[in-house]
Amino acid sequence: MLKLSRNGIGAAGAAGLAEALKSNPTLTVLDLSYNGIVDAGEAGLAEALKSNTTLTVLKLSSGGIGDAGAAGLAEALKSNTTLTLLKLSRNGIGDAGAAGLAEALKSNTTLTVLDLSGNGIGDAGAAGLAEVLESNTTLTVLDLSYNRIVGAGVEAGLAEALKVAHNSF
């Protein structure tokens, strides 16, 4: 485990760590929360996730990651086969980022926990995530607390997804 939260690593530091992750054979947990990673730093991490075969937990809370960063992570999740927990709480992810993550969850078979709490996800993003819950059999925890989900239709969609979901929500 490598815990580097609250160190001011920033985008450049994240890029350096990403290079090391591409070939690291042992690290399973990486916590870069509260480091101002932003989308630029996250891009390198997303690229590293495509080839890394050991990392199971990645925490990027309060890192300034927005929709572009979420999209990069979503692309990585389509091919990553080891990540089981992705924590993206308290960033700037909105509906577009949530939609990208929802698309990735259609094919990802390893992620069991996705924390998107405290972002800017609204009704459209929540609806996209609700739709994928009907077919994704791996995800067991989806945290959407403290977002901007207000529509009764979205709540109904989430409730309906839970009725047919094959997981243990």
For tokens 């300034």, what's the residue? 64
- pLDDT of res. 106: 95
Phi first, then psi: give them for residue 73, nearest 5 degrees: -65, -35
114-166 per-position pLDDT tens digit: 999 999 999 999 999 988 988 898 999 999 999 999 876 676 667 676 665 55
Domains of the chain are: 2-164 (3.80.10.10)
Band the pLDDT of 42: cuts 50, 70, 90.
confident
Q: Dmax of the chain from CA atoms?
A: 46
- pLDDT of res. 41: 86
- pLDDT of res. 162: 66
Percent of the chain with pLDDT over 90: 79
- At 116, the amino acid letter reads L
- pLDDT of res. 89: 98
Band the pLDDT of 76: cuts 50, 70, 90.
very high
Per-residue H/E/C for the chain = CEECCCCCCHHHHHHHHHHHHHHCCCCCEEECCCCCCHHHHHHHHHHHHHHCCCCCEEECCCCCCCHHHHHHHHHHHHHCCCCCEEECCCCCCCHHHHHHHHHHHCCCCCCCEEECCCCCCCHHHHHHHHHHHCCCCCCCEEECCCCCCCCHHHHHHHHHHHHHCCCCC
- pLDDT of res. 159: 67
User: Bigger pLDDT: 159 or 38?
Assistant: 38
User: Is residue 113 a contact partner of residue 141, using CB atoms and an 8 Å limit?
Assistant: yes
